[in-house]
Structure 1
Amino acid sequence: MNDATLDHEAIIVGAGFGGMGAAIELMRQGVADIAILEREDDLGGTWHVNHYPGLAVDIASVTYSYSFEPNPNWSRLFAPGAELKGYARHVADKYGVGKHMEFGVVVERAEWDDDAGRWTVHTADGRTRTAKYLVTATGFLSQPYTPDFPGIDAFAGDIIHTTAWQDGYDFAGKRAAVIGTGATAVQLIPEIAKTARRLTVFQRTPIWVVPKVDFPIPAVVRRLFGAVPATQKAARAVNTSLLEMLMVFGVLHYRQAKPGNRLAALLAKTHMRVQVRDKRTREQLTPSYDFGCKRPTFSNTYFPVFNRPDVDLETSSIVRVEPDGIVVDGEKKIGVDTLVLATGFNLWDVNFPAFQIVGREGRDLGKWWRDGRFQAYEGVAVPHFPNFLTLNSPYSYSGLSYFTTIEGQMRHIARLFSELRRRDADRFEVTERANTEYLDESTRRLADSVFYAGDCSTSRSYYFNQHGEATLLRPQATLSTLREMESFPLDDYVYG
């Protein structure tokens, strides 16, 4: 292949933390000509798109960051969203990946040309770009879900999706409704309740909420982190270990460690009992599924909201939306001036992948996944898709911090591209054998998880795809994941 005919050596789709991590590692491996295509108008991924009131990390900031680029200046243990956006800008500038980014570029499809040995990427502006390597880093939660309630188009008030927040929006004097009680809603609802005349929270599925040990990080500690990085590294290790215990014993090894899962649920129930006065409300807020079936969250301000006389919890199903309100089962109508959609994201229908990707012999990735099983070797590679790495993919999410996943994938990229250089090759493709073995092993390990050994029937969890399989998480401890990502058998790929 004549590289002179290519527009770029590598194209990365997505300028969030995953895309930046991939770019940093590719540059370390000598891949210099990189284009990072981003549909939004700035970098940061979810931390650019989301800027609703109350936005903050739900993993302590010392862990929710690159281990190789610690930030000693977090203002709180759980940093607000604006600081994560600033951290993304800092990383892009320091590691030189910002200059490779192009914003407002919507990728519609990518096709592999086996004869030419290259990818052709088509964008919504009608352009095409070619590259030797393609990396998708479009995130797990990037395609917002908007429910199609009957009559919603006729609603006369304001409709705000949390991913399209109107900064400065004033709820004073308004009857507000929030649809959804996931992690985003848990952060947002207490903020709306501060000013709205009345707030109705429409809950379809309750969420497990545990206490949030959050506090401002004193200036003296921040100075210590900056002067002695080992101290921040130690803090990261402690927090990571606690999260690891929650993930491994509470979720992945549910069958063997069921008491640990029950203890986590008891902690959440006790937290709610202390904070919510009304018995009926506590019953409504208590999940009927096992802890870990869907991602739990941390908050000290969510439950107390339901003690307020101007906040209502509505658990009846929505029948339709009318111009001035919402009608639920029994034809009960609730007046609404502003409708907030905290309805999450569509992972399995439109996000895996986020655009059409056609590999060798015309295999359409999305169709192949949906017609068969969702799968990806080590959570990054797919047979019949040469020179392709998918960072947001089945069986890839490791641990509770996204950065664990990112850094594992960076290690995989480092090993793979080192082998390409050693062989003086420029093409790789994972074998069917290696992919099948990884899929079978992941399936076997997940049999012990809360998803299959526990009761998740009422969870409506985004962990489960349309086939009823929980194929999002990599069912391994973080340390073993990182070891395997940097030591996978090199003959699991073919090279050319």
Structure 2
Amino acid sequence: MAVVGAGFSGLCVGIRLRQKGVRDFVIVDAAPSVGGVWRHNTYPGVAVDIPSATYCYSFEPNPSWSRSFAPGAEVRAYAEHCADKYRLRQHLRLGTKVERAVFDEDTDLWHVHTDQGSFTTRFLVAAVGPLDQPKNPDIPGIAAFTGKIIHTARWDHGHDLRGERVAVIGTGASGLQVIPEIAAVADRLDVYQRTPIWVLPKVDFAIPRAVRAVFRAAPPVQRLVRLLTTVASEIIMVLGIVHYSKVPFLVRATEAVCRAHLRRQVPDRRLRRRLTPDYGFGCKRPSFSNRYFPTFLRGNVELVTDGIERITEKGIVAGGTEREIDTLVLATGFKILELGAMPAFPVVGLGGVELGAYWDENRYQTYEGVAAPQAPNFWLMNGPYTVTGASWFSIIEAGSTHIVRCITEARRRRAVRMVVRHRPHDAFTADMRRRMKGTILAQPSCARSNSYYFDRHGDSPYVRPQSGLYVWRRSRSFDLDDYEFSMADNRKE
């Protein structure tokens, strides 16, 4: 079998397979090393935006985090550690980009085409994370710009920003982290904001060596800390966001905390207004920072909220004014809910149906966030209706558990084909859409958020409107008979 993606999702699938005694698999990735989004994103200031204690596998707590919000280099080192400890190196096929996968209905095999050649596999898992393909803005004239262009997801460390005139487009999670770093070295910084971001105070501190020593000596202590931070995330995201219609006051209270944080850091009322979102907390990914807002008080920083009209050879025109720059930094995020991004490569299943094109035309839909009737022997990590309020690693582990249960069951039955049935698939998708009506994402204000949670149909299939605990239990208890198994002799059990 084959797993595409050597980030934390792909590594988790590999770990779970080995724990079940499965050894005949490969993990394919276009990059030369493991780590996924943490291998690609190395921009100044990059760090996790949830507490470090939560940002690790439940079965492999990391006692070495240096801060309560770990820097990106440490997260990447953790990925390398997991690849070594769980003996995944022998399964890696790095520097190999998957370009297309086609299911052969006669042999029930996937033909996987890469830039290094093709191979066949019985089972295929797409574990490319959602934050994989950088999204460049579609702004007139950008190709004519003669200065340097850098996307935060592909940072050029050989380019020195000291003393330069720099513009940053984008004020999402990446922009929030990189903007203070650039402001400290640039001669001038223009920040182009389309939509403000909700920002919470960041309780960021160095973790004392003594505490790290306790974590190493007594892993249950760290697991307890992880549980507490996960529960806190669940309370905000699940009760506040998913069950918004029942407890709207929780979202309002969180917004009040964010506004108070902004008032403390920005005394200028007019500037505060421009930095305050006009959509509800949760419509768009929020973040934590103590440095972002004060950056706009610096004399060399200007917040530009006029819409960008065009980019010229020398700068950016917004509000009828051209501001000349030397370097343009794109903090414009990733392609997520769009054709070519989910799945990250063409997946051609039954009847020649390409899964991404089918979803793009007929709305995103899955069974338990991982399977589709159009694609036998195929599962998708981080697919439609996957993300809950739990730790990202809890989401990864739930998806991996579901997938490995399927693969081991298919092998036990000696099945050559395993595909989710239409009825449970359709029931799950209908349930997700029904539940979405009670979330913050169904509120009218979310239309103003420019959030990647939404697709071109107006749906928000990025989010799974259920608790992390429920998803964890469901991955271990879903009915395997929701899938149809076919044998080599009669093709159906």
For normalisation by structure 2, the TM-score amounts to 0.96
Q: What's the offset of the Cα at 1:422?
A: 4.2
Distance, in Å, in 2 between the alignment partners of 1:254 and 1:98 is: 44
Distance, in Å, in 2 between the alignment partners of 1:368 and 1:323 is: 40
Query: What amino acid is the match of 1:285?
Result: L
Q: Identify which of 339, 362, 378 aligns with 2:328.
A: 339
| Secondary structure at 2:296 match in 1 | helix
Distance, in Å, in 2 between the alignment partners of 1:326 and 1:490 is: 56
Asked if 1:188 is matched to 2:175, the reply is: no
> In structure 1, what is the equivalent of residue 6 of structure 2?
15
Asked if 1:461 is matched to 2:461, the reply is: no
> In structure 1, what is the equivalent of residue 469 of structure 2?
479
Query: What amino acid is the match of 2:331?
Result: A
Distance, in Å, in 1 between the alignment partners of 2:187 and 2:411 is: 64
Distance, in Å, in 2 between the alignment partners of 1:436 and 1:75 is: 45
Deviations 1:77-127 (A, max 9, x none): 1100000010000000011112211222111110111211110001124x1
Contact in 2 for aligned 1:50/1:165 (Cα 8 Å): yes
Distance, in Å, in 2 between the alignment partners of 1:216 and 1:19 is: 30
Q: Which runs of 5+ in 1 are unaligned?
A: 1-9
Asked if 1:262 is matched to 2:266, the reply is: no
> In structure 2, what is the equivalent of residue 409 of structure 1?
399
| Secondary structure at 1:455 match in 2 | helix
Query: What amino acid is the match of 1:47?
Result: W
Deviations 1:212-247 (A, max 9, x none): 111111000000000011110110011011000011
| Secondary structure at 2:398 match in 1 | helix
| Secondary structure at 2:119 match in 1 | strand
Deviations 1:246-294 (A, max 9, x none): 1112210111110000011111111011101211110000001100001
Query: What amino acid is the match of 1:346?
Result: K
Query: What does 1:133-172 correspond to in 2, within 5 Å?
Result: 133-167=123-157, 169-172=159-162
Asked if 1:29 is matched to 2:10, the reply is: no
Distance, in Å, in 2 between the alignment partners of 1:454 and 1:244 is: 24
Q: Which runs of 5+ in 2 are unaligned?
A: 487-493
Contact in 2 for aligned 1:51/1:165 (Cα 8 Å): yes
Asked if 1:295 is matched to 2:273, the reply is: no
| Secondary structure at 1:456 match in 2 | helix
Distance, in Å, in 2 between the alignment partners of 1:32 and 1:44 is: 21
| Shift in CA distance, 440/471, structure 1 to aligned 2, threshold 3 Å | same
Q: What's the offset of the Cα at 1:392?
A: 2.4
Query: What does 1:369-388 correspond to in 2, within 5 Å?
Result: 369-388=359-378
Contact in 1 for aligned 2:13/2:404 (Cα 8 Å): no
> In structure 1, what is the equivalent of residue 490 of structure 2?
none
Q: What's the offset of the Cα at 1:495?
A: 1.2
For normalisation by structure 1, the TM-score amounts to 0.96
Deviations 1:183-222 (A, max 9, x none): 0000000000111111110000110000111111100000
Query: What amino acid is the match of 1:370?
Result: D
Deviations 1:52-73 (A, max 9, x none): 0000001111111100001111
Distance, in Å, in 2 between the alignment partners of 1:232 and 1:65 is: 11
Q: Identify which of 260, 279, 297 aligns with 1:307.
A: 297
Distance, in Å, in 2 between the alignment partners of 1:418 and 1:406 is: 18
> In structure 1, what is the equivalent of residue 53 of structure 2?
62
Q: What's the offset of the Cα at 1:401?
A: 2.6
Contact in 2 for aligned 1:318/1:328 (Cα 8 Å): yes
Query: What amino acid is the match of 2:406?
Result: L
Deviates more, 1:76-85 or 1:409-418: 409-418
Query: What amino acid is the match of 1:378?
Result: E
Distance, in Å, in 1 between the alignment partners of 2:141 and 2:407 is: 53
Query: What amino acid is the match of 2:61?
Result: P
> In structure 2, what is the equivalent of residue 121 of structure 1?
112
Distance, in Å, in 2 between the alignment partners of 1:466 and 1:124 is: 31
| Shift in CA distance, 379/398, structure 1 to aligned 2, threshold 3 Å | same
Query: What does 1:29-428 correspond to in 2, within 5 Å?
Result: 29-125=20-116, 127-167=117-157, 169-329=159-319, 331-349=320-338, 350-428=340-418
Distance, in Å, in 2 between the alignment partners of 1:263 and 1:195 is: 36
Q: What's the offset of the Cα at 1:76?
A: 0.5
Query: What amino acid is the match of 1:335?
Result: E
Q: What's the offset of the Cα at 1:453?
A: 3.5
Contact in 2 for aligned 1:254/1:454 (Cα 8 Å): no
Query: What amino acid is the match of 1:158?
Result: K
Q: What's the offset of the Cα at 1:328?
A: 0.8
Contact in 2 for aligned 1:398/1:404 (Cα 8 Å): no
Distance, in Å, in 1 between the alignment partners of 2:187 and 2:325 is: 11
Q: What's the offset of the Cα at 1:28?
A: 2.3
Contact in 1 for aligned 2:149/2:328 (Cα 8 Å): yes
Query: What amino acid is the match of 2:84?
Result: D
Contact in 2 for aligned 1:430/1:493 (Cα 8 Å): yes
Query: What amino acid is the match of 1:419?
Result: E
Aligned pairs, number:
485
Distance, in Å, in 1 between the alignment partners of 2:406 and 2:201 is: 41
Query: What amino acid is the match of 2:483?
Result: Y
Deviates more, 1:451-460 or 1:467-476: 451-460
Query: What amino acid is the match of 1:225?
Result: F
| Shift in CA distance, 259/120, structure 1 to aligned 2, threshold 3 Å | same
Distance, in Å, in 2 between the alignment partners of 1:168 and 1:483 is: 47
Q: What's the offset of the Cα at 1:168?
A: 5.1
Distance, in Å, in 1 between the alignment partners of 2:87 and 2:485 is: 29
Distance, in Å, in 1 between the alignment partners of 2:270 and 2:316 is: 22
Q: What's the offset of the Cα at 1:454?
A: 5.3
Contact in 2 for aligned 1:53/1:191 (Cα 8 Å): yes
Distance, in Å, in 2 between the alignment partners of 1:449 and 1:292 is: 9
Distance, in Å, in 2 between the alignment partners of 1:192 and 1:212 is: 19
